[in-house]
Amino acid sequence: MPAITLHDLQNKLHEQIPLTKTIGIRVTDYSGETLTLSAPLQNNINHKSTAFGGSLYSVAVLAGWGLLYTKLNELDLSGHIVIQQSNVNYLQPVKSDIIATCSVGDITTFERFIRTFNKKGMARIKLASVIMQGDEAAVEFEGSYVVHV
Amino acid sequence: MPAITLHDLQNKLHEQIPLTKTIGIRVTDYSGETLTLSAPLQNNINHKSTAFGGSLYSVAVLAGWGLLYTKLNELDLSGHIVIQQSNVNYLQPVKSDIIATCSVGDITTFERFIRTFNKKGMARIKLASVIMQGDEAAVEFEGSYVVHV
């Protein structure tokens, strides 16, 4: 179990990045390996009644940020988490609420990232988030995050 | 001169994507080759008093969208403009208002894109946007856009 609750993480996002309140970001699930954020379509709608690409990006990038924040918190670590680089593929329009899930990925890579952070006070990791539309991936996001003390 | 004014384009963005009102998107310049959008830091601030990565992305992706919309409008064309893929490099934090400029780029490539759109009713183009911080690039964005009838 994380030291931080889903509710606390959601409040933290809303406090630290006020725009996330308008986006309607909710922290909906944490499994230990994945963190899921969601946001209502209505807050993020465009002229085609689908989700705005900038909103999809925001929910995806914050799923990675939130996952790192939660994992560091579990390990009694803290650091500044910064997005450095990202790639996004929009595979199909999102016509319902935005649900973005970010996964820790390969555990060996993640453990190496934590060791580097402990040793050097700075480390980088690539994380993938996906936004599903029914059973199919609608948005694939990959971000390189830097964590530093 | 475009058939659409900067003011009309700004209103269009605000009407079609309501979140852009909270982001505070303004259409500030169009040169024929480049379109510049801006947004106040205050609307997009994070816990480090710099601009949220999702906001930077949103302004950059909309600079490309707005440039395509304006160029098509100039040519008496209209189509649906969709972002398909993007890469973003965050080079340094943005500590002031967000100003994103998107350029048409190579004119031969742009003309080929227009010819393809006229012929096939669908065409793709890569556009680059940059967000400056003083004299230096802070965010480099490249997006692949699809325009279709």
Report ipTM (2 d.p.).
0.96
Using an 8 Å Cβ cutoff, are A98 and A39 in contact? Answer: yes
Give A94-120 pLDDT, tens digit per residue: 999 999 999 999 999 999 999 999 999
Give the neighbor-by-neighbor strand order of the sheet with A80-90: A26-30, A34-39, A98-103, A122-133, A136-148, A80-90, B80-90, B136-148, B122-133, B98-103, B34-39, B26-30
pLDDT band at A66 (very low <50, low <70, confident <90, very high): very high
As a whole number of angstroms, the distance between CA B123 and CA B147 comes to 6
Angle (CA) B83-B20-A130 rounded to 5° is 45
pLDDT of residue B93: 96
Contacts of B114 (CB under 8 A, 6+ apart): B75, B77, B123
Using an 8 Å Cβ cutoff, are B94 and B41 in contact? Answer: yes
Contacts of B122 (CB under 8 A, 6+ apart): B116, B146, B147, B148, B149
State which residues of chain B have pLDDT below 70: 1-2
Residue A3 is given by DSSP the state S
Q: Which CATH architecture has domain B6-148?
A: Roll (3.10)
Contacts of B80 (CB under 8 A, 6+ apart): A48, B147, B148, B149
pTM exceeds 0.90, yes or no: yes
Closest to B52 (Cβ–Cβ): which among A19, A84, A86? A19
Cross-chain Cβ contact B86/A87 below 8 Å: yes
Q: In the predicted model, what is the mean pLDDT of chain A?
A: 96
As a whole number of angstroms, the distance between CA A95 and CA A52 comes to 10
Task: Please compute the mean of the pLDDT values over residues A33-46 and round it to a whole number.
Answer: 97
pLDDT band at A73 (very low <50, low <70, confident <90, very high): very high
Q: Which of A9, A37, A80, A88 to mutate to test the interface with B (most CBs of B within 10 A)?
A: A88
Using an 8 Å Cβ cutoff, are A122 and A149 in contact? Answer: yes
Beta strands B80-90 and B98-103 are unpaired
Contacts of A22 in chain B (CB under 8 A): 19, 22
pLDDT of residue A104: 96
